[in-house]
Amino acid sequence: MTATFDTDRMAAVIYGSEKLASRRREISAAVSRIPELHDSRPLPFMDRLEKVTEMTRKLAALNKHLPDIIDPNDYEEGLHLYHEVMGMEGHPLALHEVMFIPGLIGQGSDEQYEKWLGRARRREIIGCYAQTELGHGSNLRSLETTASYDPSTREFIIHTPQITALKWWPGALGKSSNYAIVVANLIIRDRNLGPHPFMVQLRDEETHRPLQGITVGDIGPKMAFNGGDNGFLGFDNYRIPLGNLLNRHARVEEDGIYVKPPHAKVGHSAMIRVRSHMATGQAWLLAHSLIIAVRYSAVRRQGFLEDKTREVKILDYQTQQYRLFPSIARAYAFIFCGFETIRLYDQLILDVNKHGNTSGMADLHALTSGLKSVVTYQTGEGIEQARMACGGHGYSMASYISEIYGVAIGGCTYEGENMVMLLQLARYLVKSVELIKNGKSKELGPMVAYLAEPDTQEKTPLELKDYVKLFQMMSKRQSWKATERYLKLVEGGVSRDVAWNKTAVELTRASRLHTRLYIMETFIRRVSSIEDMNLRMVLRDLVNVHVNYELLDCGIYLHDVSLLDSIKNQLYSSLHSLRPNALSLLDSFQFSDIQLRSVLGRRDGHVYENLFEWAKSSPLNVSDVLPSVDRYLRPMMEKAKL
């Protein structure tokens, strides 16, 4: 089928500009012409050490060619180049670019920029971000690593008091990084001032061996991301200079006087930044799996419909469309809502750094907590549906979907475990409802103003604004219901912590609805702003799939049976309308075959021939008879003949 729109123009919408979309195509073409930037053999056939070695080999080759392919100072160009060449299985600079350098920028002073930022950007040093501990992840307040100030030497003494305080999970920490931003509790005169970021050298710059007082290593194989060396890190009264406290927002004077930051949560900006970018990152992973599944579904034929002489493409079955098309809509919705959230984050950092204005910190912290949780969970759902939509071949590593799933699903736990994140947002919602109950609706932030509005009237047929009103009503009802349940327990004499725990499930439901409402609103706003009518029309079909699927998925909160029936009918009609453009909507992401690394998702559609070639390249097929057969199976069979 022929698409009704230009995929290059849609790519410009997806990536934010025609220039960037065009540059991505140029970068992919450049990589295709440089063999040493390609995988030396399929990654699924490599063991862990081979993967780490392969990723490091390609990184060194990439560093040589990088200035000829991209502007090294352009973050977006660099990100695409790394995705194209390195893939998604991890490499020594994975956290250097997305956590270490941004952490320095967000937390370091101008003097510290001068000392470390240039070196990091030139890759004279390789860094990571060490916050999560073996016994403590999402609960930042319970981190155990300490940084005690010694005024006599003007040094901090970093120490790991017990095994649960080991830093655990930071990417590229295990074997690659020689520096880290370490989050530790600042201790001055036996007073714990809470978590603060410190710049810490871990390894000698000449020998790369760990420095005295440092225990560091790799944590072992993971569900995915096994080209990356996630690590552990411990300190034995390790000393660093006073100037190694990243002090853009908080500082310690030589005599031990502490100057606190302007906002209690300003130290969370690195986490907020990562969560702000997670929506677009997860959309990218979801789109990866969907283009594989939809391309394969356009090749695979099975069963008959009207024409009994030729089997049907499985993409023409309504069940296959129901499995895949809502996730296409979510991928686009996550992209667009991610753009808006990143804009909000950039504005926040500008306000904090230039004007000392931290008023947006709490709102964005709450929003990104909910987004991180909802987007990662729904992405995991969508990728798994894409795998199952490929039938048995989806289970093979030849599809590469299992690797995509393993990388994406890690998002449910890194940067905050999802349930904890939902409950952080819930505190914001409860506080907002309490403001309304106390007659202070004017103090509400713009994102929660709807909580004070009266219920809408359920009706049919629905226009887009009606879908938003219905979702607002559902979200509002759940936020009020959960808040009143919590307050009733507190008023009855139950402690706040116990009352919170007894209300936690209802609170997380409120957070999910509020977040899904934000995603829906930003999706609709972005599509409505597109001037190209061909693009807007196909995206309007995608929005229709999204709003009907979301309402139906949350239908437990609606009480009108006829309304639910109408929503179902609208959804089925929208699936049918979207069918001619489904594949082109995913082609608009413009993933190359090199980047996809999927036999099922090849652009040329030659699935079966290449599956056979891929299987023949298995190391088990190097010889006709394996040593295990000669050593164990043949003797067993010979013995059975006696």
Give residue-wise pLDDT tens across range 303-340: 989 888 999 999 999 999 999 999 999 999 999 999 99
User: Of the candidates 261, 295, 327, which is a domain's last residue?
Assistant: 261
User: What's the number of domains the chain is made of?
Assistant: 3
CA atoms of 631 and 629, how far apart (whole Å): 5
* Domain co-membership, 250 together with 276: no
CA atoms of 87 and 490, how far apart (whole Å): 51
Angle at 275 between CA 258 and CA 249, to 5 degrees: 15
Nearest residue to 452 (alpha-carbon basis) of 438, 467, 466, 470: 438
397 occurs within a structural domain = yes
| 415: annotated active-site residue | yes
pLDDT at 267: 57
Strand partners, 168: 232
User: Of the candidates 213, 246, 261, which is a domain's last residue?
Assistant: 261
The contacts of residue 454 (CB under 8 Å, 6+ apart) are none
* Domain co-membership, 218 together with 156: yes
CA atoms of 473 and 551, how far apart (whole Å): 11
CA atoms of 633 and 290, how far apart (whole Å): 41
pLDDT grade, residue 71 (50/70/90)?
very high
* Domain co-membership, 253 together with 273: no
The contacts of residue 77 (CB under 8 Å, 6+ apart) are 20, 23, 27, 70, 71
Token pair 């990143």 is at which residue? 342
Copy the structure tokens of residue 446: 């713009």
Q: What are phi and psi of 243, to 5 degrees?
A: -70, 0
486 occurs within a structural domain = no
pLDDT at 312: 95
**Structural domain for 88, as ranges:** 13-105
pLDDT at 559: 78
Angle at 248 between CA 246 and CA 250, to 5 degrees: 80
User: Of the candidates 230, 261, 292, which is a domain's last residue?
Assistant: 261
Copy the structure tokens of residue 510: 């409120």
pLDDT at 352: 73
CA atoms of 505 and 486, how far apart (whole Å): 11
pLDDT grade, residue 270 (50/70/90)?
low
Beta strands in 230-333 (DSSP E): 231-235, 238-241, 251-252, 258-259
Q: Which amino acid is at 69?
A: I
Q: Are strands 179-188 and 146-150 parallel, antiparallel or unpaired?
A: parallel
Exposed, middle or buried, 116 (CB in 10 Å: 0-12/13-18/19+)? buried
- For 209-264, the pLDDT digits (tens) are 999 999 999 999 999 999 999 999 999 999 999 999 999 989 999 999 999 887 66
* Domain co-membership, 256 together with 318: no
CA atoms of 451 and 443, how far apart (whole Å): 12
* Domain co-membership, 353 together with 335: yes
pLDDT at 219: 97
* Domain co-membership, 215 together with 336: no
> Can you give the CATH number for the domain in which 179 is found?
2.40.110.10
The answer to whether residues 337 and 371 touch, using CB atoms and an 8 Å cutoff, is yes
pLDDT at 269: 62
pLDDT grade, residue 460 (50/70/90)?
confident
Q: Which amino acid is at 439?
A: G
pLDDT grade, residue 141 (50/70/90)?
confident
Neighbour count for residue 557 (Cβ, 10 Å) = 16
Q: Is 24 strand, coil or helix?
A: helix
pLDDT at 354: 76
Strand partners, 182: 130, 198
* Domain co-membership, 320 together with 392: yes
Nearest residue to 177 (alpha-carbon basis) of 213, 134, 210, 136: 210
507 occurs within a structural domain = no
Strand partners, 251: 259
Helix, strand, coil % over all residues of the chain, rounded to 5: 60, 10, 30
* Domain co-membership, 375 together with 308: yes
The contacts of residue 337 (CB under 8 Å, 6+ apart) are 279, 371, 518, 519, 522, 523
pLDDT at 136: 82
Residue 171 assigned ligand-binding role: yes
Active-site entry in 97, 340, 415, 550:
415
409 occurs within a structural domain = yes
Category of 303 on φ-ψ map: left (φ > 0), alpha (ψ -120 to 50) or beta: left
* Domain co-membership, 298 together with 177: no
423 occurs within a structural domain = no
* Domain co-membership, 332 together with 225: no
Q: Which amino acid is at 96?
A: H
620 occurs within a structural domain = no
Q: What are phi and psi of 276, to 5 degrees?
A: -65, -35
Give exposure, 473-502, as e/b (b: 16+ Cβ within 10 Å): bbbbebbbbbbeebbebeeeebeeeebbee
> Can you give the CATH number for the domain in which 348 is found?
1.20.140.10
The answer to whether residues 419 and 626 touch, using CB atoms and an 8 Å cutoff, is no
CA atoms of 293 and 282, how far apart (whole Å): 17
Q: What is the mean pLDDT of residues 171-175?
A: 96
Q: Is 133 strand, coil or helix?
A: strand
Strand order in the sheet with 231-235: 167-168, 231-235, 214-218
pLDDT grade, residue 439 (50/70/90)?
very high
Give yes or no for residue 150 having a pLDDT over 90.
yes
Tell me which of 182-196, 385-399, 545-559 is least confident: 545-559
Is there a cis peptide before residue 454, judged by omega within 30 degrees of 0? no
pLDDT at 356: 72
Residue 132 assigned ligand-binding role: yes
Helical H segments across 554-598, by residue range: 561-578, 582-587, 593-596
* Domain co-membership, 323 together with 365: yes
The contacts of residue 594 (CB under 8 Å, 6+ apart) are 28, 31, 32, 38, 84
Helix 318-355 to helix 533-553 angle (10° resolution) is 100
Question: DSSP string spanning 53-83?
Answer: HHHHHHHHHHHHHHHHHS-TT-HHHHHHHHH
534 occurs within a structural domain = no
* Domain co-membership, 253 together with 276: no
CA atoms of 340 and 473, how far apart (whole Å): 23
pLDDT grade, residue 266 (50/70/90)?
low
**DSSP type of residue 455:** P
> Can you give the CATH number for the domain in which 32 is found?
1.10.540.10
557 occurs within a structural domain = no
Copy the structure tokens of residue 163: 């095994």
